[in-house]
Structure 1
Amino acid sequence: MTTTPIRGETHAALISAPGSGQGKSMVTAALARLHRNAGRRVRVFKHGPDYLDPMVLEVASGEPVYQLHPWMTGEEECRWRLAEAAQSADLILVEGSMGLFDGEPSSADLAMLAGIPALPVIDARGMAQTFGAVAQGLATYHPRMVVREVIANRIGSARHGDMLRESLPAGISLLGAIPRSAAMAIPDRHLGLVQAGELEGLDRQLDAAAAVLAEAGLDRLPARVTLEAGAPEPPPRLLDGVRIAVARDAAFAFIYRANLDLLRQLGASLRFFSPLKDRGLPEADALWLPGGYPELHGRTLAANDGIRDAIRSHFAADRPLLAECGGLMACTEALTDGEGETHAMLGLLPGSVRMAGKLKALGLQSLRSDRGELRGHTYHHSELDTGEVPLARTRRLAGSEAEPVFRRRGLVASYFHGYFPSAPELVAAIFRGEPWSPLG
């Protein structure tokens, strides 16, 4: 349900690419910082289920970053978030995922749904006139997809940039040609970019990257668009008076802003804590262990007997506890990290997890229940070995096999990451410890 329509007009573009690895994440962040440094208010969004890119984009823009995905977050929410941002932002950038037309729904689907043009970033290393062919292909592949400009990335010289510009067909121009630069590189690890909070000197690097883009002529704003949508009605306050302790630190950081927003809109009060540093839990009725990198902090987690005892006591009292992916890993009896070292975990779920050294699951999934369908995704490099019988399995939309969902006392645990606004009633039932039933 929606209320009175909202409307805004601003400059906007979806930053995409022919495929992954073209450099669009850092280009998006550098563009956001470039225009922010020019005194503009920049709002950035991320297509699809991604936790890591938004962390960098928030630092770059100085504004909150939300996910947009026509299936996971819903078409109406995509339109509403963009229209709301357009009321006050001078520029909206949406970072796409994978290639422009990859996935279902793709980044192109989001751009067409919202009515914003795509601005592809094309890695031009080892490329000359073929650059124009790639740009033309992206611009003409779908009749409703608007591509007016492209960005050349990682060029070797000014002459190289001129060749790329000359290769473009009529109707497509070159916004800028970015030279190869250390400022445009950002480290990553097995789940994606290194978390923004772990990158020393990130602000300085973003300023340097913005300067590279300015020198390359990318300080021109994209086209103006008009964005209109209905504002959603507030959800019922199903968590009034419920105190939720939320783990948030370098080991547990995969949290959608929209999930926190929804919990507050439902009436919950949130108390954050660090399983790495804190010796106990804040006063709380329910507990949320989100995803993250427990495998990188196994020794520290195992040594914190204070927090381990507090979480075990919470579990023994049959209080609600939601554990997602990294949270699930922490709830097992033992975790074997990438170096082969095994660490004692919470022991709330029988069995153990082991880092596999390769991707084990990736894809969009949902958990169907009598309280609604919780949409989200799975993405992990570890394997679970347990004799526990799952309560349910997620439903696979694309990618890997369905994930088991376990329930023991008040604990609900799975590798599945949920987007809470897709099923407020189910989320409220989990955090209140109320019964809910899976649907096939």
Structure 2
Amino acid sequence: MNGTALCPALVVAAPASGQGKTTVTAALARLHARQGRRVRVFKCGPDFLDPYWHELASGAPVEQLDLWMTGEADCAARLHAAAQEADLVLVEGVMGLFDGQDSVADLAQRFGMPVLAVVDASAMAGTLGAIAFGLRHFRAGLPWAGVLANRVAGERHADMLREGLADPADWLGALPRVAFDAASPKLLPERHLGLVAAHELADGLQRLDAAADALASTPLGRMDMAALQRFAVDFAPPPIEEAGGRVPPLLAGRTVAVARDAAFCFIYPANLQTLERLGARVVHFSPLRDAALPPCDAVWLPGGYPELHAEAIAANTRMQASLRAHVAAGRPLWAECGGMMALCESITLADGREQPLWGLLPGRVAMQRRLAALGPQQLALDAGCLRGHTFHYSTCDSPASVRTRTARPGQDAAPGAGEALYQQGSLQASYFHAWFASSPRATASLFGAEPA
């Protein structure tokens, strides 16, 4: 790798979820991208939906950073590579700044990235000063940029918020509540798994422009490249061997077909990169539109929204037959979360209707009104241990053989705990979302590689 890379960088964090981190990050990325600057955005922790908005805003791929799931060396490598080509690096945090083990604060401190605190100030005034002071000084040595008050009612409200700050230099502006139009008052609409993906909305870019226009009037939004140098970070490269530079070509000569459409869209770019580094040829197909699998040696059905497309999935009987023939021939099929759901016999939707599905995996799934599972998980296989996470609103009742179960970080799998890894012939399926780069050898084993 090349030497250090100097680039302005901000970690967009908050005291809690729901403060507006995604909107501010995307608005800031869009504001600078439309001025011709090269912006690279990262998302802390596991998340498939926010990155779609950041990719639309920045015009560049969005990758994950997580000190546990992706690992410190992987984070260092991705940040260094981005800083070499970008004018600005933005990192959207997750939950609250200090929440969880390997928190956003830990990441910011490890790489020296200043924290921009976004606070929903809609129901407060001088208390913003206490929150900003606490976030800034709770941990010694935390790199700090300042605070942006979000959902502010007007100029008088903004004045009261600014006057409450102990350090006037902390003030980076007030952002009003941005409504898109009367028919869609919420700028970035949501559904049960999070934000509606940007590519699902024809006016997605116009929504980001509205947020960028609002941000442009703040001190933060008015910063040019010279002013942004106060946030410059010197990103050092990790050693190649620590950054996952050596991946054995265990899938050389194999073609992996990856489902990709509106129903199957939860795909980390790094997972595709890992398959390619393993030597695989990656091709894409649409289970909603295509009549058959492309010629391939293995299939990956990632997560997504099968519950929103259940009728179309069931109607594509030719794709069902193609998948069934693939498994009957003993070729590997790895299905994650939504991919697993589509393989089951049926789904009970949120309104109580039961919809048949493909039926390659015995059992049924049922949508729930609340989260059924959430959090980091690891999957120990013979070839290695994959890190990842679980996040789903459905439950699965299947008589299929359970090969093993996932476990929380640092724990061993236990009966009845974690997510089941179902196996039906060459088909393996789980609610578990894997981060392939955490164990390339274990990943290769899911797609048919023989143990080394």
Give the TM-score band, short-chain normalised.
over 0.9
> Is the contact made by 2:400 and 2:424 (CA closer than 8 Å) also made in structure 1?
no
| Misfit runs of 4+, over 4 Å | 398-401
Q: 1:175 to 1:65 in 2, by over 3 A?
A: same
Q: Does 2:195 align with 1:205?
A: no
- Which of 49, 52, 55 is matched with 1:55 structurally? 52
- The offset of 1:195, in angstroms, is 1.3
Partner residue, 1:226 = 234
Cα drift, residue 171 of structure 1: 6.9
Q: Hey, what does 2:387 align to over in structure 1? A: 375
Paired residue for 1:195?
A: 197
Instruction: Report how many aligned residue pairs link the two structures.
Output: 433
Identical counterparts, % of pairs: 51
Match of 2:69 in 1: 72
Q: Tell me, which stretches of 5 or more residues in structure 1 are unaligned?
A: none
Query: Equivalents in 1 of 2:104, 2:317: separation in Å?
Result: 45
CA displacement, residues 271-327 of structure 1 (integer Å, 9 cap, x when unaligned): 111111111111111000000000010011011111111111111111100000001
Matched, 1:93 2:90: yes
Tell me, what secondary structure is at the counterpart of 2:401? coil
1:97 and 1:335 mapped to 2: Cα distance? 31
What is the identity, as a one-letter code, of the residue corresponding to 1:179?
Answer: P
What amino acid does structure 1 have at the position aligned with 2:121?
A: A
SS at match of 2:402: coil
Shift of 1:217: 3.2
The structure 2 residue matched to 1:245, chosen from 245, 254, 257, is 257
1:417: which partner in 2?
A: 433
Matches within 5 A, 1:134-283: 134-170=131-167, 172-183=169-180, 185-219=187-221, 220=223, 221=228, 223-230=231-238, 231=240, 232=243, 233-283=245-295
* TM-score normalised over the length of structure 1: 0.95
Cα deviation, 1:73-125, whole Å, max 9, x if unaligned, reads: 00011111111111111100000001101111111111111110110100111
Give RMSD over aligned pairs: 1.7
SS in 2 for 1:252: coil
Aligned residue number for residue 115 of structure 2:
118
Instruction: State whether structure 2 residue 357 is matched by structure 1 residue 319.
Output: no
2: CA distance, partners of 1:158 / 1:38: 27
Instruction: Tell me which amino acid in the other structure corresponds to 2:418.
Output: A
Most deviating of 15-24 and 233-242: 233-242
TM-score scaled by length of structure 2:
0.93
Counterpart residue type for residue 408 of structure 2: R
Q: Secondary structure at the match of 2:85?
A: coil
Tell me the CA shift for residue 358 of structure 1: 1.1
Which residue in the other structure is 1:432 paired with?
448
Give ranges in structure 2 of 5+ residues lacking alignment. 181-185
Q: Is the 8 A contact 2:260 2:285 kept in 1?
A: yes
State the alpha-carbon separation in 1 of the partners of residues 357 and 328 from structure 2.
16
Question: CA offset at residue 434 of structure 1?
Answer: 3.8
Deviation at 1:176, TM superposition (A): 1.4
TM-aligned CA deviation for residue 369 of structure 1: 2.3
